[in-house]
Structure 1
Amino acid sequence: MSDTEGVPEGQASSKHKLVDTIADPELAWVAPEPRGIASVLTANDSWLYTIVENNGAGPVNWEVHVPAEGEQICSPYTEGGFTMYELAFRELGYKLPFNDFEAEVFGRLNVAPSQLHPNAMAFIRAYQVLCRYLEVEATVPLFFHIFKIQRQRVGDQQGWVSLKHASSKIFKMFVESARGFKERYYVIKPVKEFALNSLYMDKPVFLEDGSPQLDEEGEQVTEWGLRFPLAWTSEHFQMGTKEYLSAAMDLTPEERAGFLKMKAVVKKFKPCTFTTATGAVALDKYGKPRVEARFVNTKALLACKSVEEEKLLLGI
């Protein structure tokens, strides 16, 4: 299994049958699985997790809605609405509004957040945590030097976009199997101006030849636009996977130093030794102890409840 694959494309959970209810020709490019899996969430679901922001006792800025019949994970929604997997908030630690780094990653990839496989969403969060405690700036170029893009294609249709390590492996996958998360998604809608504005930014305007559009005073013209797509879009696939990545020569000296610090942390982890059911050391076919390199445990890191727990896990 690759670094970011879950259930192979085209396979749904054994409990749910694919039923394609999408008639929109604009979504003809979407693969069968995301087109056909309806959300199983209901307002009366006792396991429903709806904490999507850290507002304390303040006003509610975002509302969670169960998709209507016929609405799928890849469907477009009105009033600034977008789909999210419950897992992103329940287990990965995301909170709205997305921070600048997260929004920039989605924008660089030109995807809606729910277009990313959960392992990719987990890598985004774990990378930020590791950078914070190594006192490394979490930049997008460094992120896309560590990770490369993996796509799930079915014929001429596309599924989730995944990430895997480009060279040195630093993080373990969050989940080995993606069964279960794909049926648990809902629609997030901003209900306050603050929330809606967090999805937008001033973006530079370019002419057809790619040059910047300037005003009468020679200043760059900008327009108020989305920071990243809210609905699934095929525009991500107009570029090759390598075009999203950062070469070593494109990194700043600080980013290169940060990458070395990350690799150094992983290098200090003691290899894992396999044992048999009786507790004896397991041997490989050459009669040597079976060992496996250890990496940052993404799932355990995102489950930490305090800074102290994170530091203990990372050995900092």
Structure 2
Amino acid sequence: MAEIVGEPVEDHHLVDIITDPRLDWVGPEPRGIASVITPTAGRVYTIVEDTKEGQQQNWDVYCLTAEKRVCSEFSDDGFAMYEFAFKELGFRFPFSDLAAGVFGWLKLAPSQLHPNSLAFIRAFEIVCEYLEDEPYLPLFFRIFKLQRQPSKSGHDWVSLKQQTKLFKMFVDSVSGFKERYYVVRPRTPSAKDSLYETTVVTEEDGSTRLDEDGRPVVRRIARFPLSWSEEHFATSTDSYLTKDEARSDGERVGLAKLQSFVEKFEPARYVTRAGTPTLDSQGRSRVELRYINTKSLLECNG
């Protein structure tokens, strides 16, 4: 089955209450779809980290106030996440280096990336671990490329599709995720630290800026945007991809290992209800190449 180009438009009641002019670039759906997760809503999945009994929790989950949407900015290092990412895909905090690296490289808040694409991040990481291979960020962007919908009335979700087919999509169409989101906030210093990195401040000429005592000046910056960012769209989709000539030896070996792993899968043969093999127009058995089953993989690893 061919990969779908875009998700079907869902029938949502859009109420745009955003007044922040900095979000004028955001499309109608992210601006207008309110979260159905409220303080009185039942059966909400709120497990966002793995903790043992009696262990301190590092993250809190909050419902949004009425004037906020998934694309809004939140206080105290909070950011929006879809329930689907934790309930169905098995994401947990703190984010892995790969996940944080993908969001940071793309200049996207996690909720700007479509859930089917979030599934690819986890599946890629799990398979790399199984093959005892490093989940290199450049290798990830050698396998996956970006897909953005035309923006006549603003930008919305960004998707990933494959340049080198290795994985099946989690599902053909993810429905119902757009209205089920909440805010997550770090509640401990270690949780907050996982969102930031320390970098050395440089001068315009590239030299290190020093303080009055001659020590390098450093600052903390977020590893990825904590709210929806327009910066991603200022650059072409190709600019985020890894060119073949830019790959390291380790990345070349990693890609070859992944390809070899998938090539060993036995093709699926088409049969009738009676179990008889079906043939193509040339009398050959009809077969379908098999790829890594992303959904089954994440369900087993959950």
Tell me the TM-score normalised to structure 1 length: 0.87
Q: Which residue of structure 2 aligns with residue 313 of structure 1? A: none
- Once the two structures are overlaid, the 10-residue window that deviates more, 107-116 or 238-247, is 238-247
Task: State whether structure 2 residue 28 is matched by structure 1 residue 32.
Answer: yes
Q: Which residue of structure 1 aligns with residue 51 of structure 2? A: 55
Indicate which of 64, 70, 74 corresponds to 1:67.
64
Q: In 2 relative to 1, CA 173–94 (structure 1 residues): closer, same or farther, beyond 3 Å? A: same
Q: Secondary structure at the match of 2:80?
A: strand
In structure 1, distance between residues paired with 2:130 and 2:214: 43
Q: Which residue of structure 2 aligns with residue 310 of structure 1? A: none
Structure 1: stretches of 5+ with no match in the other structure: 307-316
Q: Which residue of structure 2 aligns with residue 240 of structure 1? A: 236
Cα distance, 1:284 vs. partner? 4.2
The amino acid that maps onto 1:145 is: R
In structure 2, distance between residues paired with 1:75 and 1:7: 22
Q: In 2 relative to 1, CA 174–219 (structure 1 residues): closer, same or farther, beyond 3 Å? A: farther
Task: State whether structure 2 residue 260 is matched by structure 1 residue 268.
Answer: no
Task: State whether structure 2 residue 220 is matched by structure 1 residue 224.
Answer: yes
The amino acid that maps onto 1:124 is: I
Task: State whether structure 2 residue 254 is matched by structure 1 residue 258.
Answer: yes
Q: Secondary structure at the match of 2:174?
A: coil
Q: Can you list the C-alpha shifts for 1:181-232, whole angstroms capped at 9, x where unaligned?
A: 11111110112222112111112434457x3543279986431111110000
Q: Which residue of structure 2 aligns with residue 90 of structure 1? A: 87
Cα distance, 1:283 vs. partner? 4.1
Indicate which of 190, 199, 202 corresponds to 2:195.
199
Contact 1:64 1:187 in 2 (8 A): yes
Q: Which residue of structure 2 aligns with residue 46 of structure 1? A: 42
The amino acid that maps onto 1:150 is: Q
- Once the two structures are overlaid, the 10-residue window that deviates more, 86-95 or 156-165, is 156-165
Contact 2:203 2:209 in 1 (8 A): no
Q: Which residue of structure 2 aligns with residue 175 of structure 1? A: 171
CA RMSD of aligned residues (A): 2.3
Tell me the TM-score normalised to structure 2 length: 0.91
Task: State whether structure 2 residue 117 is matched by structure 1 residue 141.
Answer: no
Task: State whether structure 2 residue 212 is matched by structure 1 residue 214.
Answer: no
In structure 2, distance between residues paired with 1:159 and 1:34: 6
Q: Which residue of structure 2 aligns with residue 119 of structure 1? A: 116
Of all paired residues, the percent bearing the same amino acid is 48
Task: State whether structure 2 residue 296 is matched by structure 1 residue 291.
Answer: no
Cα distance, 1:147 vs. partner? 0.9
Q: Secondary structure at the match of 2:228?
A: coil
Q: Secondary structure at the match of 2:138?
A: helix
Alignment: residue pair count: 300
Q: Secondary structure at the match of 2:160?
A: strand
Q: In 2 relative to 1, CA 101–218 (structure 1 residues): closer, same or farther, beyond 3 Å? A: farther
